[in-house]
Structure 1
């Protein structure tokens, strides 16, 4: 029996090496790319059944790759991974066809569970605490950036903010709550 093919695209080469090894031990054929172009080329040559895509690949967006993978084969199950989670990017990833959205660090078992989870979970706990002002600001910046298709200059104009100020705010990791 053939092993299921999984495309892993992340610019963190160490993370890719560790995750590839873990997934291969679980009987997957793993193709690895460290940038969007290489990921797309691998997908076109070897159509994967599964894909694990980082949200931020260098200075590029993994959302573009999710969109392209789904256009190649709507049955490809994609999981978006990120260290920069936001509501706006989670919504966009799902709208573009990702089946799940996980924050890093995610291990092989969590990723495989997400790839094979076909239904929503009504038992997910709902937080009793509202988001902090800093987290709300981060979410708002992400939403505006998504509305302007990742164009920082256009988003900065919409926010009435200097482009460099927006870039500095976006380079910081989001606060948890």
Structure 2
């Protein structure tokens, strides 16, 4: 069973994502900040990280950049309320496996994460952006 680290400053969204992921058979730990995520990654192993683009005052892409340098085996998914072309480009440069819009149906977000969980450990995963229809 894949272990997922979820990083988001919104407590309501953290609880909802945690419930959804657990129901789909994923083991998930949710934290509210980049500092909490980095501290947790120092002592625990995860297969995937689902990281919000704006984590309070922290920039999710900056966290991803730090993780990319030290945790190359970690599959990273960027979850964002708005995915601009610039964010998309930077995420791809950093090796993010998926950029997912928060506007997607919950079942689609879970499906993307579960699919990547089954692929963790694979050396190369083609990056992809998934936006909600009309975005």
- The normalised TM-score by structure 1 is 0.61
Could you tell me which residue of structure 1 aligns to residue 93 of structure 2? 95
CA–CA separation in structure 1 for the residues paired with 2:100 and 2:70: 23
Could you tell me which residue of structure 2 aligns to residue 84 of structure 1? 82
Higher relative contact order (CA 8 A, sep 6+): 2
CA deviations 1:120-145 (Å, max 9, x no partner) are 68xx9xxxxxxxxxxxxxxxxxxxxx
Q: Where do residues 27-176 of structure 1 align in structure 2 (5 Å cutoff)?
A: 27-115=25-113, 116=115, 118-119=125-126
CA–CA separation in structure 1 for the residues paired with 2:43 and 2:105: 27
Task: Confirm or deny: 8 A CA contact 1:79 1:114 kept in the other structure.
Answer: no
CA–CA separation in structure 1 for the residues paired with 2:86 and 2:13: 25
Higher-Rg member (1/2): 1
CA deviations 1:80-129 (Å, max 9, x no partner) are 011132100111011112101111134554234434364468xx9xxxxx
The CA deviation at 1:73 is 2.2
Unpaired stretches in structure 1, ≥5 consecutive residues:
125-175
Task: Confirm or deny: 8 A CA contact 2:92 2:127 kept in the other structure.
Answer: no
CA–CA separation in structure 2 for the residues paired with 1:113 and 1:22: 10
**Equivalent residue of 1:20, what SS?**
helix
Task: Confirm or deny: 8 A CA contact 1:55 1:61 kept in the other structure.
Answer: yes
The CA deviation at 1:37 is 0.4
**Equivalent residue of 1:11, what SS?**
coil
Unpaired stretches in structure 2, ≥5 consecutive residues:
117-124
**Equivalent residue of 1:91, what SS?**
helix
How many residues align? The count is 122
Q: Any runs of at least 4 consecutive aligned residues in structure 1 with deviations exceeding 2 A, and if so which? A: 68-73, 105-121
Could you tell me which residue of structure 2 aligns to residue 23 of structure 1? 21
- The normalised TM-score by structure 2 is 0.78
CA deviations 1:4-24 (Å, max 9, x no partner) are 110000011101101101101
Q: CA RMSD in A?
A: 2.3
More helix by share: 1
**Equivalent residue of 2:28, what SS?**
strand
